[in-house]
A and B are shown apart, each in its own frame.
Chain A
Amino acid sequence: MTAEPLIETRDLVKTYPVGGGDLIALDRVSLRVAAGEFAGIVGPSGSGKTTFLNIVGSLDTPTRGSARVLGERVETLGHRRAAALRNRHIGFIFQTFNLLPVYTVFENVEFPLLLLGLPAAERRRRVMAALERVGLADRARSRPDQLSGGQSQRVAISRAVVKDPALVLADEPTANLDAANSHQVLHTMVRLNRELGTTFLFSTHDEKVIGYLRRRITLVDGAVAADEVVTPTHGENGEAAP
């Protein structure tokens, strides 16, 4: 690949002061992720996956080292620029869905577009398209508390991709879902990756998710232990969604 990578980290270190010393959450992580990848950070709980995703998502800053995301240096980015970067180019998917409880499904998905200041007609068109992609156009007027976990996470996916971001960061997206819903959600993401070319970066220790990945980056105690290109056993080349 000759193009500049979407994400490039160099000797990324993140430490937290704990007790007397420092806890090393990330230990000299150097990684490149290219546009269009469907990659996952894999490792046991506490290995630094979330910390890495948060820095890439400009929600956090590294203690040392550098992280370049979509041409921006995260470690020197101000609050405003970071907010703009997330608003325009990065979609987040959380383990706990994090939908706004007082908004309808439609309004939840519309929210990032409101932040972008798009006109109403354009917002409506995009929201409906995004909801159709996850198969929830008919639930546009529902409230989050009327949805199942799988439906909630699909709404969250819709919200992440509605602004057509270059990068979607999904932190343990299936941890609160049962097997059937996990597969459905992952299928949706594989399809979006293929159809829209959106880059997906996961953090997970869920075997089901790992089966969909095309690249598996293994973190152990904050350091990269393995970085392998793998053939998905699920998704477009694997078994069909339930």
Chain B
Amino acid sequence: MLLRLSWRNLMGAGLRTWLNAFVLSLAFLLIITAQGLLHGMNEQAAQALVAVSIGGGQYWHPAYDPYDPLALEDARGPLPAALQERVARGEAVAVLAVPGGIYPAGRMKPVVLKGIDPAQDLLDLPAAALDTAVAEIPLLIGARMARSSGLAVGDRVTLQWRDAGGTFDARDGLVVAVMRTPVQGVDQGQVWLPLDSLRAMTALPGAATHVTLARGTSALAGDAASTWRWRSTDDLLADVRELVRAKTAGSLFVYALLLFLAMLAVFDTQVFSIFRRQRELGTLIALGMTRRQVLGLFTLEGSLHGVLALALAVAWGTPLLAWFARRGWTLPRNTDDYGFAIGDTLYPVFGPDLLLGTALVVLGLTAFVSWLPTRRIARLQPTAALRGRAL
């Protein structure tokens, strides 16, 4: 009964109702889109990171700290036997990281020299390109690194590093490949070379900084990894997830603002409608409705804006979002310095929890702002309402 009456009242308000519902559905869809992009980014960044560096988890040399470049000098050592075995079986790949410098066009640029086995096929890095017979040390760099250092395939560049004894040493390298990778961490400031070459250059036979396990393999049992620290895939992804969240939180403010405006419109409509329909309120009470019922009626009426908005959003949003999820959002080529790993095209992910959660938030908020102004009805004098002088 209440539903029918409030529905009729709502439809009776015509354009105003549809405007409110439209703005609300817009806010709803924008939030979904933004959140979907966030989820999609998160997913894509995580997938890319797993493929390119994290794999099934990593073992770190006890001194290794990715946030402390100064510590990198000491973050290397022989692999524990159990890890070495895995590497030998092709179930893990070792990386030796050594701080150093390159001199493109005569200017020193600090880099991290990273040694990797050219025969590995565990990480999604074109390391095989390093398996080539050249007089210089073959080098693999990322596209960002290539741009910032002005290097291209075929360029010769001087490498500098310190060996195990701490003495500076230098040799020429040759850029044999430039890779496009979504993961900045293996690109910017990194120079890849064959692991054996780097070990020989630094006089650190058998040394490594970290070891990545193949996906699907399990961590070593007990203390087989000795003092090397285990980092699971989830541990390693936590950072990137946090970064994505922080990056996108700022833009969510805009959508919150839009939602707020939509709520303001519903609130305003409610206040207006209660004020204008005082006599109707008084009549309903005279007909035997309790104030609580009348309050419920008006709250329901306002809340239906939310339902209408959802229906609208489903009507015009479903095809839009479906198209967007399939087509993705192609980022302009030059704007990949986003700070985290994403591909050229972002695919938003619209999960059921996102859709339902947002729908519930919109419905809940609408119900709340619809209810707020109706509290005055609870104190309403029916006689004054009938005279149109209650509020």
Please determine whether B12 and A112 come into contact, CB atoms closer than 8 angstroms: no
In the complex, A142 has a CB within 8 A of chain B: no
Chain B min CB distance to A225 (Å)? 23
Main secondary structure of the interface of B (DSSP, over half): helix
Given contacts A102-B12, A103-B5, contact A59 B287 (CB under 8 A): no
In this complex, how many residues of chain B approach chain A with their Cβ under 8 Å: the count is 22
**Complex interface: chain B residues within 8 A of A111 (CB):** 287
Which of B279, B280, B383 is within 8 Å of A54, CB to CB?
Answer: B383
Q: Scan A44-60; emit 1 where CB is below 8 A from any B CB, else 0.
A: 00000011001001011
Q: Quick check: A102 and B288 within 8 Å, CB to CB?
A: no
Distance, CA A83 to CA B293, complexed state (A): 10
Give the A interface residue count (CB, 8 A).
28
Query: With A92-B286, A94-B283, A115-B289 in contact, do A59 and B386 touch (Cβ < 8 Å)?
Result: yes
Q: Does A101 reach chain B (CB closer than 8 Å)?
A: yes
Q: Are A98 and B283 within 8 A (Cβ)?
A: yes
> Which residues of chain B have a CB within 8 Å of any CB of chain A?
1, 4-5, 8-9, 11-12, 279-280, 282-283, 285-291, 381-383, 386
Question: Is A79 interfacial (CB-CB < 8 Å)?
Answer: yes
B385 nearest CB neighbor, chain A only: A59
Taking a contact as CB atoms under 8 Å apart, the answer to whether B386 and A87 are in contact is no
Q: Which 7 A-B pairs have the closest CB atoms?
A: A87-B288, A102-B8, A98-B283, A102-B12, A114-B1, A83-B290, A86-B288
Q: How many Å from the CB of A75 to the closest CB on chain B?
A: 15
Contacts of B280 on A, CB cut-off 8 Å? 98, 100-101
Instruction: Please give the distance in Å from B138's CB to the nearest CB on chain A.
Output: 80
Cβ-closest chain B residue relative to A156: B283
Given A59-B383, A59-B386, A60-B383, CB of A100 within 8 Å of CB of B288: no
Q: B286 near A86 (CB under 8 angstroms)?
A: yes
Bound-state Cα–Cα, A102 to B9, Å: 6
A84 an interface residue at 8 Å Cβ cutoff? Answer: yes
Q: Are A88 and B288 in contact (CB under 8 A)?
A: yes
Of A54, A83, A88, A159, chain B has the most CB atoms within 10 Å of the CB of: A83
Q: A80 in the interface, Cβ–Cβ < 8 Å?
A: yes
Contacts A59-B382, A60-B383, A94-B386 given; indicate if A100 touches B289 (C-beta within 8 A). Answer: no
Q: Report the nearest B residue to A101, measured CB to CB.
A: B12
User: Looking at B279, B282, B288, B291, which has the most chain A CB atoms within 10 Å of its CB?
Assistant: B288
- The reply to whether the CB of A184 lies closer than 8 angstroms to some CB of chain B is no
B288–A84 CB distance below 8 A:
yes
